[in-house]
Amino acid sequence: MSTTTNKLVVITGASSGIGEATAVLFAQKGYKLLLLARRKDRLEELVNDSRYSFNQDNTLIHQCDVTNVEDIRTGVELATKKFNLPVDCFINNAGIGHSSPLSEQSLDKQYAVIDVNIKGVLNGINVVAKDMVQRQAGTIINISSIAGRKTMDGASVYCGSKFAVHAISETLRSEVASSKVRVVVISPGVTESEITGHDEKLHEMVEGMKKGLTLGILKAQDVAESILYAYQAPPHVCLREIVLAPTEQSL
């Protein structure tokens, strides 16, 4: 059952996978939501889906490429005006993957991963962190990966981008701790989503990892629940990192 929670939560990459599942769960909990992604049609489809708790009063969608900081800033300005609330939680979830040996990768693909997975996160932080520090309140949740904790053959730049998310998050966490702002890293293992749909080698790599996992891989909702858990912890508790993976994932 939906209740109303007078907090504004921003989710990047809300049009599929983990971001979409997080949007659904946070809507169910009654949060005011700003949902960002490039595919506005997918956001529209999601918020009009009668199975979920989205409505005009609690949701704003905004077409946004996270590599463009002004896209994020405009969305945040529109949402803070619509709801007359500051951003209480910003979830840097948008991300892309790419897999192939480094010696064979095109620079274009490498740069795209860096742009979305690192610069996109920096852009999100740039839009909200200063205000959170001034207000002495707020939570920034960055979606990293097990690939941000250990390297994996074929995923060099993706791992590099997620190691960067860890380093940036931990430094930011330390810098804003005395301002009562929380910085959380969520590090999932293999999760059902559309991330492998754009890269054949990544698809093969993940399918290989899935083989023999009789209990299955994580569902996007599993990750969404860990995000909600971290956010709903009492204000004096900062869950600095949640690492979750399929039980049978050995990596």
Alpha-helical (H) ranges within the chain are 17-28, 40-47, 69-83, 107-114, 120-135, 156-176, 200-210, 220-232
Any idea what the Cα angle at residue 147 is, between residues 144 and 148, rounded to 5°? 50
Rounded to a whole number of angstroms, the minimum distance from the CB of residue 195 to ligand NDP is: 3
Nearer to ligand NDP, 48 or 236 (CB): 48
**Residue environment code for 82-119, b if the CB has 16+ CB neighbours within 10 A, otherwise e:** ebeebbbbbbbbbbbbbbbeeeebeeeebebbbbbbbb
Cα distances (Å, whole numbers) of residue 244 to 34, 91, 153, 182, 206: 26, 17, 21, 20, 16
Rounded to a whole number of angstroms, the minimum distance from the CB of residue 80 to ligand NDP is: 19
Give the type of residue at 161: S
**191: which DSSP letter?**
B
Give percent helix, percent strand, percent coil of the chain, each to the nearest 5: 50, 20, 35
Nearer to ligand NDP, 183 or 195 (CB): 195
Beta bridge partners of 172: none
Q: For residues 158 and 99, what is the distance between their CA atoms, to the nearest angstrom?
A: 8
Rounded to a whole number of angstroms, the minimum distance from the CB of residue 176 to ligand NDP is: 21
Interaction site with ligand NDP (CB under 6 A):
12-19, 37-39, 42, 64-67, 93-97, 116, 143, 145, 188, 190-191, 193-195, 220
Q: For residues 193 and 201, what is the distance between their CA atoms, to the nearest angstrom?
A: 16
Nearer to ligand NDP, 114 or 137 (CB): 114
Nearer to ligand NDP, 78 or 177 (CB): 78
Q: For residues 133 and 145, what is the distance between their CA atoms, to the nearest angstrom?
A: 26
Rounded to a whole number of angstroms, the minimum distance from the CB of residue 23 to ligand NDP is: 10
Q: Which residues are catalytic?
A: 158
